[in-house]
Structure 1
Amino acid sequence: MKNPFLPSAIAAAVLTLLNQTAAQAQTTEPAAAGDTSAQAAPTQEVAKEIQQVVVTGVASARGVRKVDSAFSITTANEEQLKQAAPSSTADIMKIVPGVYAESTGGQSGANIEVRGFPSGSDSPFVSVQLMGNPIYPPPTLSFFEGSSAFRLDDTVERVEVLRGGPSTIWSNGQPGATMNFILKEGTDTPEGTVRFTTGTGSLRRVDMYYGGKISDGWYGSVGGFYRKTDGVRDAGFPADDGHQITATLTRKLDQGKLTIYARNTDDKNAFYTGVPLISSNNGRTISAFPGFDPLTGTLMSGEMRNFTIEAGPGKTLTKDLADGRGLKATVFGADFDQKVGDWSISNKFNRFDGDLNTVAMFTGNNPLSMNDYLKNAIAAANGNAAVVAAAGGVATAGTASFVHGGAVDGNQQVVQAGLWAVEKQLRSFTDELRVSKDLGGGHTVTVGGYFADYSSHDVWYLGNSHLMTAQPQASLINVTLNNGVIVSKNGTDGNINYAPVASYDGRNTAGFISDDWQVNDKIKVDFGVRHEQQKISGTISNLTSADTDNNILTVYNNGTSMPNGSNTYLSRTDSANSFTVGGNYKLGKNSSVFVRANRGHTFISFDDMRGVGNQADVNNHGILPTPKVSQYEVGFKTATQLYTAYINAFHTDFDGIAFTQILTDGSELHRISGSKGNGLEFELAVRPIDNLQLALTGDYQKSEYKDNPDTAGKTVQRQPKLQFRFTPTYRIPFGEGNSAKLYGTYTSIGSRWADQLNQQYLPAYHTFDAGVLFELGEKIEVRLAGTNLNNELGLTEGNSRLTTGNVGPINARPLFGRTWEASLLYRF
């Protein structure tokens, strides 16, 4: 078989030789008299980059220098996070090569795709950790993805994002990407900040942080935020409203440390799905729908904010769209590390308890005229013999009126959108214990175990279609036919079509062993294996259909889905093995090359089990396989005063995953697909003169499906072949202790397919962001930043509840339009 790494290996070898030559020249050729540039010390910022230690994906809790790590990892400190101006936790992933984040839904509910992995929504291959432990062990469930359980604020010191590599044997064994957030801790030098922020959507936000020494050996910190905003897409009501508080308590030990942390979050965020657009040229050209600004508009409105769900006979519920996809949760944990002679002990645990509910609009069928809607409604009613009989004859015409009064013109464009409500109560406990021993001869062996216990209690109300105008802050529409049939009442034109109540429990237990071998001063290799078992079960309500008002002429609530009082119990036990092996060769003090291979897996989830619906199919590995993935990498790393480079080539081979898509009628589409792909990731920076840095990050990949004849050879959905970000930064000192830093980012995202069959085309797009940071002495910072300053109309998602491509009027989810933020920080 042709070696996919040969070109990349040659490139890495050339880079290696060039770097060795440069290193030798620097060590053998002294600087000319009077020339101090060759001996110039790195700036403080560059020195931190060169000496930066990462703790994610390594056996030792003390970590390893990033430039010496034998895996692909991206890091961002507090300032780099602010400079990236992420709109949400998921949006941080835009700085990570090999990952594409669709964060246009708002603070929560992102879709995150990882290089070559076959996923179509949420983030099944991205785990979110706090202090090295997963916040909630399964990375994704329906209406939950890991980044939704975390909010950024000024208590975060840095984030580390590990891709593949050794992550398959540690913690929850994520084979894709792991985001690990490290909190600030108190130090000997007290530090406090308060930051006020305003911006687009009438944003009002306050962040505070304070950390310092409590007494000998004891340190503490506390901080958080309060925020309220109408949102970038103005729904006519506050879209984001919440607060968070985080605290740490650290005890310094002799050759060790114990940190206890707690975080409480109460935050609700409007969730945005598609808006009306015009698609032409087979989806290659996207333009605004008449009367609708796709960059700032949303169909949500104050008129529909408090909506009613007819859940059963005599049972109605009122929900608030402002609740969106919220987080009301507490996480409590500890991180313990102790060295005793040649032994090291590390233990991390946390407890998560939270409600992550979704109350949101989900767009359905594509826009059409009011006249066409009436024709369809008449045909549907006349096609139901029972309805015709009850009405005493067929309908020949219909009338449409606004809920707030007045007739609707027949040429008015209208859409249908479901107002869904999903309650999710999530609980989990995780613990990871590691014991390491220096055996001599360069060998350090680590053995340990991982345990996770977690649950989810779900109450779903899907469907609940509403008829509305295809306009920003849409108006609801009532429709009646001339034979007495009521098609839409108070805007509701469709029943609850899927309403399960379910309780799930899961338990994962894993054991692992690894060996880090320092062969000599230049060569270090590591090897690790893991065995894991998962046991999951669920009690899921059986459903029936009924008419909630016993009036067949009110067709909008006929056939409403509801529990029938009985339940189905499902369970499954799986086990799998994972391994990783890698090596690092130091070319010089601050440069190295690495190779890595791993084999990982994912287990089926609660939703997979519910989706197939019976115990025989749950047990059938042909229907619900245990997906496995192999990854191979070769990379080059270097960090100097002049330049920084992290480059790696990768190959992925995925053996199959059960894929589920919820369609407009509440039904589920199931497929099993594998994938394979090759690519190159790069993080480059050059500093040609003082105070100027030019950075380029991104990746090129070619990934396609395999194993399924319907999709084999098709490009893996939602992932661009090429994406990159170019970020120049220039700092201008003026006066004593004062400076201005100018920065901007040009982002290019290649074309993608929204679906597995490659029928919904998503065109390439390009955006420009910029900002300026004024540092006024040591106490004051003023920042002004803007995103999508060119108002690019780029799509991150097509109509995910339809399976075919469309031209003409469509629903799709575009980027947020031009936004800005201004903040004032005072340090004390």
Structure 2
Amino acid sequence: MQRQAVRPTAAAALALAPLTLAMALAFAPRPGQAQEAADGLQLDQVVVTGSSTRSTKMKQSLSVSSMDGEQLSKSGATSAAELLRAVPGVRSESSGGEGNANITVRGVPLSAGGSRYVQIQEDGLPLLLFGDIAFGTADQFLRADANTERLEVLRGGSASTLASNSPGGLVNFISKTGSEQGGSLGLTAGLDRRLWRIDADYGASLGKGGSFHLGGFQRIGEGGRPTGQNLESGGQLKANITQKFQGTDLSGYVRLSLKALDDKTPSLMPVPVTVSNGKINTIAGIDPRSAFFITPSLARDLSFNKDGAYTASNTRDGLHVKSTAIGFESGLELGNGLSLEEKFRKSSNSGRFIALFPADNANNGRAAFFTGTLFNTSLDNLDNVFNDLKLSKTFAAGDGGKATLVGGLFYGQQNVAQTWFWNQYNLTLSGNNAQVVDASGKPTSAAVAQGWSTWGGCCTRSWDVQYTQTSPYAALAWERGPLNLDLSLRRDEQKAHGYTLAGDNAAQRWDAASQQRVDYKVAHTSYSLGANFALSRDLALFGRASNGVAFSADRLLYGNPLDGSVPIAVNEIDQVEAGAKWRGQGLSLFATLFNARTKESNYEVTTQKFTANKYEASGLELEAAYAIGNFRLNAGATFTHARIQASNDASVVGKKPRRQADFVYQLSPAYSLGDVELGAALIGSGKSYGDDGNSITMPAYTVVNAFVNYQLNAKTQLSLSANNLFNALAYTEIEGDGHAARALTGRTLRASVKFEF
């Protein structure tokens, strides 16, 4: 049902301001030191993500972080989702492997997989219209490689009005375009896990304003866990060509881009554990940091496809994604303060998700085997088309003031078609050498239950739905002296057309009588209002209030009728934030106080439950950078007080949302000594609860990634890196009944050589 929004007020934002001002003044530079201010947080960098005007971080009333290519390479991250763990305010559970990560911001709940409230973009357009498609999350179709110039991450702010389905924030991976001539060739080898990978990129001028960039990677290996099989296989190729032009009446650029991704990586699921007095305990023979149950004993799975025929799948394919995309982009200065921006991309996305999910924990580890449900999900069609057209007019306003009026139209069409058929298998309690057995414990290759009957036959499904979203938006920005103000509005209108189908357990085929029509419309108007005031060149205060929505796609299917006869539930966030930005004496600091209220409806696959909850989270987000001599330090911390305010399960009201720690932090020190550079990235989390009832505690942890670089000559660098250097056992999630939990992968070591040219 549609719920009445609770709007933040200006008074709420003002209530946060005194503490923010006191913090800012406490760090204010002494007279005469402004020119010595460091800019480790790149506060003079122009923000292009979630901003109505192109201005610097220092002038924007936004909480935005950026990482350049060098920072990305030194993070020790092995996936795009793991990169985000280094960003303050972002909660990224990267324990699922290369994709299928859970991502949110600032205490906004993670009640479903994926990134419901955070949109992941590539060059300013979404990878998928929805971030929480079951088994088809946006990060699966993204690979951060040598093509990436930088990463921008916006928390809160105008993300709700300048993009769709992104009230929590925006994550934008920005590609190189050949504006700087040169390239690189990198070779990486696993030292404790079989891995061979090659990365390459090159960009250059074509003369007369033209440039190009081409790059990608190819790899083969067993993945981050000791699987003994080549489960990583594939790569990516990206290319773009840009033409800039300068005329009397018209100037700007046009760009054509291409992308081809075909990659297989292992999908990492929770493993059987036990819980005693609220504490998670491992089971003998199963290490959550390394266990992987897709062994040669479970090499083939027979499933039922959308066309009504059985098909055999190679279980070693794991997460197999295919994506081809073509894009067009232009930015034109039309004269008299008028500018036009156009972004277009058409993508063809498909693949398969295969992973084993424990259905029990072998009677608390006392039995010889456990039963696992093999999530064999065909990503039949996740194709999409996106277009974002924006017209801006800048003009004089007031005594020395300047205003920019922006009008835009976003159009998106997203297909969501999947087929689920989940057989069940019995497997022995051996983390990396599990054997398939029958009910008596004898070796077999057969399933103990076919997908028709798994979990009561709930999840043999096939659907094909097309979602069309049209979103006009407008913004007004005004600047005069030290003051910047902005207001933006967005109207999201979505239509859904398609069908759902369920399996017939008795007849073991698709049940034509079960077909349900999907045909509905839903709409929402969002807003964002912000102000930024510069007290000096190196100190600024800002505040913002915003409201936004995230529409759901497949999470609504197989529940209430979706034929337009009943209201459609939406997921809504109201936010206020106030903060300060300061730099000086080798230090730069970003501090933001925030409050977020969330109202959502959700369906969770593994529990088969529909929920409707309200949440509230308040906290403090800190980001800092410091440099002195050869030493550099980037740091971040987020303090969060979050509670469930209302729920259809009254027993969880007043409890902490699942997996939400009160305190998380990031530290990235680095020191250069001649041709040698030593560095690390520490990611820490306080304890949290694994369930909304707060009965299972996930302990605090610190994960350390480290690297050593040696500059052999001006163009050649040797590197050693370790991910999870101290092999920390870091749980990121546990099932509500405590039978299975997922943890970050244990220690992995790599060596690489990089040639620049």
| TM-score relative to the length of structure 1 | 0.84
**How far does residue 71 in structure 1 lie from its aligned partner after superposition?**
0.7
**How far does residue 26 in structure 1 lie from its aligned partner after superposition?**
3.1
Name the amino acid aligned to 2:467. Answer: G
> Which secondary structure does the structure 2 equivalent of 1:607 belong to?
helix
**How far does residue 369 in structure 1 lie from its aligned partner after superposition?**
8.0
1:502 equivalenced with 2:463 (yes/no) = yes
Structure 1 residue aligned with 2:103: 112
Q: CA offsets, 1:720-768, max 9 Å, x none?
A: 11100122211112xxxxx222112332211222222323332211222
Q: CA offsets, 1:756-799, max 9 Å, x none?
A: 23233322112222111222332011121112111111211113
RMSD of Structure 2 on Structure 1 (CA): 2.5
CA contact (8 A) 1:158 1:181 kept: yes
**How far does residue 693 in structure 1 lie from its aligned partner after superposition?**
1.9
Given the alignment, which residue of 762, 773, 788 partners 2:709?
A: 773
Given the alignment, which residue of 425, 444, 451 partners 1:466?
A: 425
Question: 227-236 or 143-152: which moved more?
Answer: 227-236
Structure 2 residue aligned with 1:64: 55
1:696 equivalenced with 2:638 (yes/no) = no
1:26 equivalenced with 2:26 (yes/no) = no
1:634 equivalenced with 2:641 (yes/no) = no
Cα distance between partner residues in 1 of 2:465 and 2:125:
22
Cα distance between partner residues in 2 of 1:240 and 1:715:
37
Q: CA offsets, 1:292-334, max 9 Å, x none?
A: 3332222221110222347899954321122112211112212
Structure 2 residue aligned with 1:681: 621
Higher relative contact order (CA 8 A, sep 6+): 2
Structure 2 residue aligned with 1:264: 260
Structure 2 residue aligned with 1:728: 669
CA contact (8 A) 1:309 1:317 kept: yes
Given the alignment, which residue of 70, 83, 87 partners 1:92?
A: 83
Question: 506-515 or 46-55: which moved more?
Answer: 46-55
Structure 1: gaps of 5 or more residues: 28-38, 371-410, 482-486, 548-559, 734-738
Structure 2 residue aligned with 1:204: 196
> Which secondary structure does the structure 2 equivalent of 1:611 belong to?
coil
Cα distance between partner residues in 2 of 1:420 and 1:777:
49
Q: 1:369 to 1:5 in 2, by over 3 A?
A: closer
Q: How does 1:557-636 map to 2 (within 5 A)?
A: 562-564=510-512, 567-608=515-556, 610-612=557-559, 614-615=561-562, 619-621=565-567, 624-636=568-580
> Which secondary structure does the structure 2 equivalent of 1:64 belong to?
coil
Q: 1:40 to 1:675 in 2, by over 3 A?
A: closer
**How far does residue 173 in structure 1 lie from its aligned partner after superposition?**
4.8
Q: Which has the higher Rg, Structure 1 or Structure 2?
A: 1
CA contact (8 A) 2:542 2:579 kept: yes
Cα distance between partner residues in 1 of 2:369 and 2:502:
34
Q: 1:334 to 1:640 in 2, by over 3 A?
A: farther
CA contact (8 A) 1:124 1:145 kept: no
Name the amino acid aligned to 1:767. Answer: V
Name the amino acid aligned to 2:340. Answer: I
1:492 equivalenced with 2:447 (yes/no) = yes
Name the amino acid aligned to 1:13. Answer: L
> Which secondary structure does the structure 1 equivalent of 2:33 belong to?
helix
CA contact (8 A) 2:77 2:723 kept: no
Cα distance between partner residues in 2 of 1:300 and 1:344:
54
> Which secondary structure does the structure 1 equivalent of 2:18 belong to?
helix
Q: How does 1:150-165 map to 2 (within 5 A)?
A: 150-165=142-157
**How far does residue 168 in structure 1 lie from its aligned partner after superposition?**
1.1
> Which secondary structure does the structure 2 equivalent of 1:93 belong to?
helix
Q: 1:502 to 1:312 in 2, by over 3 A?
A: closer
1:53 equivalenced with 2:61 (yes/no) = no
Given the alignment, which residue of 358, 367, 371 partners 1:363?
A: 358
CA contact (8 A) 1:630 1:653 kept: yes
Cα distance between partner residues in 1 of 2:500 and 2:309:
20
Q: How does 1:167-206 map to 2 (within 5 A)?
A: 167-187=159-179, 189-199=180-190, 200-206=192-198
**How far does residue 585 in structure 1 lie from its aligned partner after superposition?**
0.6
Structure 1 residue aligned with 2:270: 274
**How far does residue 590 in structure 1 lie from its aligned partner after superposition?**
2.9
1:327 equivalenced with 2:330 (yes/no) = no
**How far does residue 157 in structure 1 lie from its aligned partner after superposition?**
0.3
Cα distance between partner residues in 2 of 1:312 and 1:59:
43
Given the alignment, which residue of 796, 806, 819 partners 2:748?
A: 819
Structure 2 residue aligned with 1:434: 390
> Which secondary structure does the structure 1 equivalent of 2:558 belong to?
helix
CA contact (8 A) 1:270 1:321 kept: no
CA contact (8 A) 1:68 1:591 kept: no
| TM-score relative to the length of structure 2 | 0.91
1:248 equivalenced with 2:245 (yes/no) = no
Cα distance between partner residues in 1 of 2:64 and 2:583:
14
**How far does residue 123 in structure 1 lie from its aligned partner after superposition?**
1.6
> Where do 4+ consecutive residues of structure 1 move more than 6 Å?
1-7, 310-314
Q: 1:566 to 1:675 in 2, by over 3 A?
A: closer
Structure 2 residue aligned with 1:659: 602
> Which secondary structure does the structure 2 equivalent of 1:327 belong to?
strand
Q: 1:590 to 1:40 in 2, by over 3 A?
A: closer
Q: 1:91 to 1:48 in 2, by over 3 A?
A: closer
Structure 1 residue aligned with 2:729: 793
Cα distance between partner residues in 2 of 1:356 and 1:648:
40
Cα distance between partner residues in 2 of 1:797 and 1:51:
38
Aligned length: 728
Name the amino acid aligned to 2:574. Answer: S
Q: 1:561 to 1:72 in 2, by over 3 A?
A: farther
**How far does residue 817 in structure 1 lie from its aligned partner after superposition?**
0.8
Q: 1:669 to 1:747 in 2, by over 3 A?
A: same
Structure 2 residue aligned with 1:415: 370
